[in-house]
Amino acid sequence: MASVPSVDDDRLASLIDTVEARPSMTVTAPATDEALGSVPRCTAADARAAVESARKAQGEWADRAVGDRAAVLDTVGEAVLDRQRWLVDVLQAETGKARADAFEEVLDVAANADYYAREGPGFLASERRSSMLPIVTKAVEHRHPKGVVALIVPWNYPLTLVLSDALPAILAGNAVIVKPAEGTPFSALAAADVLADTALPADCFQVVTGDGPELGPPLIEHADAVGFTGSTETGRTVAEQAGRHLTDVSLELGGKNPAIVLADADIDRAAAGAVDDAFANAGQLCVSIERFYAEETVFEAFRDRFVSRTRQLTLGADTDWATDVGSLQSAAQLEKVTAHVEDALDRGATLLTGGRARPDIGPFVFEPTILTDVPDDARLTDEETFGPVVRIESVPDAEAALERANDSRYGLNATVWSGDRSRGESLAADIECGTVSVNDSYRTVWACLDGPMGGMGDSGIGRRHARQGIEKYTEAQTVATQRGPPMKHPAVPHRVWAGAVSAFLRARQRLPGWLR
């Protein structure tokens, strides 16, 4: 049986003990299905108290110069790299993911901290805006913090989706309260430990552990903005609750992400990228590819190389850096993945590789699985599997591939493989997804921190990364100053005034753009 790192650490214990006299909830290690530790089961009253104390601390934080706030992000970036071994241990302990996948979370946080420390102050700077009367009026847009931001975070990337989302909110002058998934609270507590060693006021970052139905509603009601990452079904509930309270909300939801392999693609490269796209973090990645469409002239070659590379992957529920694919996070995930595969096979799909749970490796380990000839009525045709399971299908041409790729209620992420980059980029622009990689796996898009990332359709609203990833945590305010006579009807007949204004606008439209 696999062993896992301990989370019985003084750094975490001190944070857990901050909420006293509460019933506890047990956290299970996916690698062993044994108790890993326990955290308080906070109440709705705890959530409201957290918002209240965060609001009191937030004003002081917002009053600090943006350069001072950016310095905190620099500290965070350095700290996560300095503590990477400990953070990776915590991540592996409560997620069961492969060590390389856990390290990617640490790397992502460090990269986001560096990006927003460097670019964020510019995104928050006040900017001049043009006016209809540019000579006599002046308009300036300011960015103010929302106040208290609640982040409701899933279990698949419990460090990235805490800190990488919290950092732009903090830089913008907000306080942040995190409600982690029930199965992965220790990563959020580890994030709190990192921030505790910075100049951020203590109550400006808090973690409330417990059940989603208990803590979600009071956080949504009393916070000023909510960021949620998770299933589309739960996202609808969050959006409904936020709508009732007029709370700003950003949602990254489910996906059934497609990939297109064109006839002119480098098939070896596409097959290698497909393995990465499909099986990173055991497929438990919002932007993982779950369906591949290859043009028929290269389908067999792509299929055979993809299957061959997949069979070479090493499975494990351990801390060995050589492990390629780790465990699923829970019994519920294993049950869902198994059900999707069995349903597809029962309906006539063909199994190319994998297809089995591997309790000999770990209680929730499932083999990387490739299916083909999957009928349209199978569950995995349009339901997100969120595991190491993909389907590959042959299509006659690029147009058919595009049609199949867009035949989904989801629109989160996609990949295109083509030997002609311009053609690949053109096809990518026609895919109805918020992000698309050309000739590489999801990592190309994920690492593009200066490009917004999010979903279309049932994959959510709002964006993370880039300017949009920090502006969503701010309120825009326009201050317009009149430097000439007041803008009102002059003491002339209305008809004369209307004619003069119309003539002015016609003349303005004829000016070069830079003079308007």
Does 501 score more than 90 pLDDT? no
Predicted confidence at residue 509, as pLDDT, reads 85
Percent of the chain at pLDDT > 90 equals: 87
> Is the residue at 458 inside a domain?
no
Tally the domains of the chain.
2
Same domain, 295 and 405: yes
> Is the residue at 143 inside a domain?
yes
Does 417 score more than 70 pLDDT? yes
Among the listed ranges 18-32, 51-65, 323-337, 399-413, which one has the minimum average pLDDT value?
Answer: 18-32
Does the active-site annotation cover 448?
no
Interval 117-167: pLDDT, tens: 999 999 999 999 988 777 788 999 999 999 999 999 999 999 999 999 999
Provide the 8-state DSSP code for 89: H
> Is the residue at 229 inside a domain?
yes
Same domain, 242 and 261: no
> Is the residue at 485 inside a domain?
no
> Is the residue at 302 inside a domain?
yes
Share the mean pLDDT of the chain: 94
Is the entire prediction scored with pTM above 0.75?
yes
Cα 216 to chain centroid, rounded: 18
Predicted confidence at residue 86, as pLDDT, reads 95
Range of the domain at 53: 10-15+22-30+37-253+466-475
Same domain, 275 and 128: no
Please, what is the end-to-end C-alpha distance for the chain in angstroms?
A: 72
> Is the residue at 196 inside a domain?
yes
Same domain, 196 and 320: no
Interval 8-61: pLDDT, tens: 566 666 656 554 557 899 999 999 999 999 999 999 999 999 999 999 999 999
Same domain, 246 and 338: no
Average pLDDT over residues 217-241: 98
Same domain, 290 and 332: yes
Predicted confidence at residue 139, as pLDDT, reads 93
Average pLDDT over residues 335-347: 98
Same domain, 242 and 264: no
Provide the 8-state DSSP code for 17: T
Same domain, 312 and 210: no
Cα–Cα distance measured from residue 456 to residue 475, given in angstroms and rounded to the nearest whole number: 23
Cα–Cα distance measured from residue 44 to residue 30, given in angstroms and rounded to the nearest whole number: 28
Same domain, 184 and 116: yes
Report how far apart, in Å, the C-alpha atoms of 23 and of each of 19, 42, 83, 210 are: 10, 8, 30, 10
Provide the 8-state DSSP code for 18: T
Provide DSSP, 324-382: SB---SSHHHHHHHHHHHHHHHHTT-EEEE---B-TTT-TT-B--EEEES--TTSHHHH
Q: Which CATH number do you get for residue 340?
A: 3.40.309.10
> Is the residue at 4 inside a domain?
no
Does the active-site annotation cover 252?
yes
Same domain, 172 and 290: no
Q: Please pick, among 286, 295, 367, 433, the residue that the annotation labels catalytic.
A: 286
Is 382 in contact with 343 (CB distance < 8 Å)? no
Q: Please pick, among 119, 182, 221, 252, the residue that the annotation labels catalytic.
A: 252
Average pLDDT over residues 249-257: 97
Same domain, 92 and 183: yes
Predicted confidence at residue 515, as pLDDT, reads 62
Half-sphere exposure of 456 (CA within 13 A, CB side): 15
| Dihedral angle computed from the Cα positions of residues 306, 309, 311 and 312, in that order, rounded to the nearest 10 degrees | -170
Does 179 score more than 60 pLDDT? yes
Q: Which CATH number do you get for residue 122?
A: 3.40.605.10
At 268, which amino acid appears?
A: D
> Is the residue at 157 inside a domain?
yes
53 compared with 486, residue with greater pLDDT: 53
Same domain, 288 and 155: no
Predicted confidence at residue 1, as pLDDT, reads 40
Report how far apart, in Å, the C-alpha atoms of 264 and of each of 40, 286, 297, 302, 394 are: 56, 28, 10, 12, 15
